Amino acid sequence: MEGGRYSEADLSALPGPETAQLESFRDRLRIFAARRTRDWAAAEDVAQEAIGRALEAMRAGRIENLAALPSFLFKTALRLCFRRTRSAGREARALQKFGAGDEAEAAENPLTALLSAERRSSLRRAFERLEPDERRLLEMTYRDELDSEEIGRRLGLSAGAVRVRRHRAIRRLADLLGVTKQPDRALEE
Amino acid sequence: MMADQTPDCPNTGERDLAQLYLAGRLPDAEAQAFEAHYFECEVCSQDVLGGGGLRELFGRPAVAAAVAPARPARAWLPLAAAAAIAFVGIGVWQLARRVQVEPTVLRSAGAVIVDLKVSAHAGGGFDVSWAPQPQAATYEVQVFASDSTRLWRTETREPRVSIGPTVLSAPAPGSTYEIRVEAFDSLGQIVASAEVAAARNP
């Protein structure tokens, strides 16, 4: 990425508890950055750079308390995204000026790369192992994009009960995928 | 069936925050606050990442894109300046000491938001309204100064906003502003937009 200093090789060459701790934030960083940059490759870069900077800060003693780590990563990723979207905007305008680019096209870049093909397959298998009422609730939420009030009306539940059952179903998916103790490593490794 | 006990994070039982966030339906300020929260909250993080994966499984984008950031350089500036000079030149500003507004649609992208109207508050500021867009889930409204500085932004589900006078404090006579309205669908994609130049006198 623009100004990127950290490669995956850099991080993998530095095994240790700090690296494992930081890696647990990678998917959070990816989804955060994908929403802002509209570009999954850029989101990967932002996640990598933020983790690299946090590792550097931890080793330099600038993050003494691990409780401060989420906030450090969030602010670092926010700055990286801001810088990147500004650069991307300048580049798109320059290309558009010369008729070689389309900003709208970039804006429509679909964010469909959270899951690799392998992870998607594992998720599908786990989903099929859920109870029918759990699958129905998750389909209504994420396929049909219904809100909890509407789902509750259809299922005869309160909105609060829908939310709790939905979270429980997601947690069960994580159990089935073996990532319950590392919920922030997405759904499957 | 287990009792429906709320998980550790109260957000999970009270609002569809993670779902709204992933669908691009949270206003930007609220989305950012939620992002800061889910970086620290394992319960909400699990909802975001699990929900993102399921959205993708069902053929939707894992997370809908955030609205476009403000663009600093503006090709409309010369036109806006000319409009302001003409506006002042014809002496309309002398008609009253109250705020005067002369909207002129300068540019639009994609579908055009029609019937974009600006009216002045007696004490400064503007009321802005436009025709509802059938596909729009939210609207973003931004106000820019003549030097392209963004003065104000908000998101709304209604086809109208009121812009307070403090946003536009201390204008020079004949100062121009650009008011931009963009409509976004439920996936966060822009479906229509329009811009209007507004000039006001002290």
**What is the reported pLDDT for B48?**
93
Nearest residue in chain A measured CA to CA from B189: A108
Q: What token pair was written down for A175?
A: 């159990």
User: Tell me, what amino acid is at B28?
Assistant: D
User: Given B5, B7, B35, which is nearest A32 (Cβ)?
Assistant: B35
The CATH architecture one would assign to domain A117-185 is Orthogonal Bundle (1.10)
- Structural domain of residue B188, as residue ranges? 77-200
Distance from CA of A148 to the nearest CA of B (A): 7
CB contacts of A70 in chain B (<8 Å) are 39-40
In 10 A of CB A143, how many CB atoms?
14
Domain count, chain B: 2
Q: What token pair was written down for B159?
A: 């086809």
Q: What token pair was written down for B58?
A: 């069902």
| Same domain as B43, residue B101 | no
pLDDT reading at A120 higher than 50: yes
For chain A, give the percent of residues with pLDDT over 70.
Answer: 71
CB contacts of A139 in chain B (<8 Å) are 58
| Same domain as B94, residue B177 | yes
The residues of chain B scoring below 70 in pLDDT are: 1-7, 13, 66-110, 122-124, 146-150, 167-175, 186-190, 199-202
Region A43-63 average pLDDT: 88
**Which residues, in sequence order, are CB contacts of B57 under 8 Å at separation 6+?**
A115, A120, A123, A124, A127, A142
Tell me, what's the ipTM? Answer: 0.78
8 Å CB contact between B77 and B146: yes
Residue B177 region by backbone torsions, left for phi larger than 0, else alpha for psi between -120 and 50, else beta: beta
Supply the DSSP symbol for A154: H
Distance from CA of B60 to the nearest CA of A (A): 7
- Does the beta-carbon distance from B56 to A124 stay under 8 Å? no
**What is the reported pLDDT for A8?**
55
For chain A, give the percent of residues with pLDDT over 90.
Answer: 39
| Same domain as B168, residue B126 | yes
| Same domain as B183, residue B85 | yes
8 Å CB contact between B77 and B148: yes
Residue ranges of domains in chain A: 8-107, 117-185
User: Given A34, A89, A167, which is nearest B69 (Cβ)?
Assistant: A89
Region A136-140 average pLDDT: 96
Can you give the CATH number for the domain in which B137 is found?
2.60.40.10
The answer as to whether B187 is a domain residue is yes
In 10 A of CB B173, how many CB atoms?
11
Handedness of CA B54, B57, B58, B62 (dihedral sign): positive
- Residues of B (17-76) whose Cβ lies below 8 Å from A: 19, 22-24, 31-32, 35-36, 38-40, 42-43, 45-66, 68-69, 71, 73
The answer as to whether B70 is a domain residue is no
Between CA A112 and CA A27 the distance in angstroms is 14
The answer as to whether B64 is a domain residue is no
The answer as to whether B1 is a domain residue is no
Average pLDDT, chain A: 78
Q: Using one digit for the tens of pLDDT, what is the confidence trace for A21-51?
A: 888 899 999 999 999 888 888 899 999 999 9
Q: pTM score > 0.80 for this model?
A: no
Handedness of CA B77, B190, B196, B118 (dihedral sign): negative
pLDDT reading at A115 higher than 90: no
The answer as to whether B2 is a domain residue is no
Q: What token pair was written down for A41?
A: 């490759």
User: Residue for token digits 């922030």?
Assistant: A184
| Same domain as B81, residue B47 | no
Interface check B4 vs A, CB under 8 A: yes
The answer as to whether B154 is a domain residue is yes
Distance from CA of A72 to the nearest CA of B (A): 10
Q: Using one digit for the tens of pLDDT, what is the confidence trace for A141-160?
A: 999 999 999 999 999 999 99
**DSSP strand pairing (B111-112 vs B190-200):** parallel
